[in-house]
Structure 1
Amino acid sequence: MSFTPRSQSEIAQAVASDIQEGWYVNLGIGLPTQIANFLPEDEDYFLHSENGLLGMGAAPAEIEEDEDLINAGKQYVTLLRGGSYFHHADSFAMMRGGHIDLCVLGAYQVAANGDLANWSTGKEGAIPAVGGAMDLAVGAKKVYVMMTHQTKKGYPKIVKSLSFPVTGLGCIDRIYTEYATIDVTDEGLKVIDMIEGMTFDELQAITDSPLSLAQRTS
């Protein structure tokens, strides 16, 4: 192997480059929150948090952290001019009503048909509730996943079928990992880009689901 995996920041940059100006975007807890740091400052994006925020900006400097301004993952955020606060019931109505153009979530597993597992591994003592992930998975117009390609033990996270509790069925449109960007299509998983130096066979060897190569169109 003669390749260097993308860093978390580089994955976030890859996702940010695919977000269209003017979109209303929810960034899930964990890795996806980094995407806000790479959106162009001279363009308009409307970042949403399920706890009742719209118009978030990049993460604040430590000296500018406001204890009353956090996202759903309890991370400090900034609010851009024109941003707003509202009740979480209104926030969920926005999510469930199809008003979010894109949601970017983390994941434990993604199946070949776009099924998502991202809230529990099913083990005793795991997270007790799914939170808003189900609402986002089925309510957003597009759903992208940003995750590591394998578990810490080296097991594939892109699988033929889920073995963890389901968050949403057939909801994922695109997957970003440290090795590749992969579209979920009716014809299966299509690799639209890979890191330099990695071969398709090497990528397939660490992926449980069959892959095929495709020209990137968006």
Structure 2
Amino acid sequence: MNEREIIAQRIAKEFKDGMVVNLGFGIPTASANYIPEGVNVILQTENGGLLFGPKPKLGESDPDLGNAGGEPITMLAGASAFDLSLSFAIIRGGHVDATVLGALEVDQQGNIANWKIPGKFIPGMGGGMDLLVGAKKVIVAMTHTDKAGNSKILKKCTLPLSAAGVVNLIITEKAVIEVSKDGLVLKEVAPGVSVEDVVKSTEAELIIPEKIGLM
């Protein structure tokens, strides 16, 4: 599997039966392909959909139905579509059990920057700000380093924040890291990746417990 598939597959293990989950575009959206058999997750999209299913077959998509990335989706039995005001009432009202979002940077205080790079045109933050403060659990899904090999898990974010102190879990292709009141705790490492590898590629300070699981 490539990096994106490794991350997406591990994300899906966080889903529990009956959870309402919002998936951001990119790697988070791909996690829907790995939901464990027998686990019924209610996927919500801020575009205005609840209980959507897999991608439609070629030529069978409905242009009015799409996920956060604008990709076509199908609706399962009992699903509903609604306007943005109701969608964000669900999010802001605390009815989303978990949101999975990508990030440019995360730091050891649980801060996240995932929307703006100075000097580049960005259309806006979208629904990320609402999801970060409205969801009961925030899972960040991203590669451990950027294309230049620089850590994206920092002591302190350098980019404009999307929200402060909201991240609960970070999942990369190298590790699973929990954000605790004491700092970042290394919970799991990927097969073939050592603890030393993770520490070396992470700018932030990591708490290393005696027992570390395997992704």
- The TM-score range, normalised by the shorter chain, is over 0.9
Q: Distance in 2 between matches of 1:46 and 1:119?
A: 26
Shift of 1:198: 1.9
* Unaligned stretches of 5+ residues in structure 2: none
Alignment equivalent of 1:108, drawn from 104, 108, 119: 104
1:35 to 13, 28, 31: 31
Q: 2-side partners of 1:129 and 1:69: how far apart?
A: 22
d(CA) in 1 for partners of 2:55, 2:206? 35
Structure-1 separation of matches of 2:52 and 2:37: 12
Of 190, 194, 214, the residue aligned with 2:189 is: 194
Instruction: State the distance in 2 between where 1:6 and 1:75 align.
Output: 21
Match runs of 1:7-156 below 5 Å: 7-125=3-121, 127-156=122-151
Query: 1 or 2 for the larger relative contact order (CA 8 Å, sep ≥6)?
Result: 1
Match of 2:202 among 193, 200, 207: 207
User: Please, which of 152, 160, 167 is the counterpart of residue 165 of structure 1?
Assistant: 160
CA contact (8 A) 1:117 1:165 kept: yes
Verify the 8 A CA contact 2:189 2:212 in the aligned structure 1.
no
Q: CA deviation at 1:186?
A: 0.8
Deviations 1:4-54 (A, max 9, x none): x86312211111111111110000111100111111353321100001000
C-alpha distance in 2 between matches for 1:94 and 1:61? 29
**How large is the Cα RMSD of the aligned pairs?**
1.6
Identical columns (%): 41
Aligned-partner Cα distance in 1 for 2:212–2:131: 26
Structure 2 counterpart SS, 1:34: helix
Aligned partners of 1:36 and 1:59 also within 8 Å? no
Q: CA shift at 1:66, angstroms?
A: 2.4
CA distance in 2, matches of 1:116, 1:12: 19
Compute the TM-score of the two structures, normalised by the length of structure 1.
0.92
Q: Letter of the aligned partner of 2:184 in structure 1?
A: L
Q: Confirm or deny: 8 A CA contact 1:100 1:141 kept in the other structure.
A: yes
Alignment coverage as a number of residue pairs: 212
Task: Verify the 8 A CA contact 2:175 2:190 in the aligned structure 1.
Answer: yes
SS in structure 2 opposite 1:47? strand
Structure 1 residue 58, shift from structure 2 partner: 2.0
TM-score by length of 2: 0.93
**Structure 1 unaligned regions, length at least 5:** none
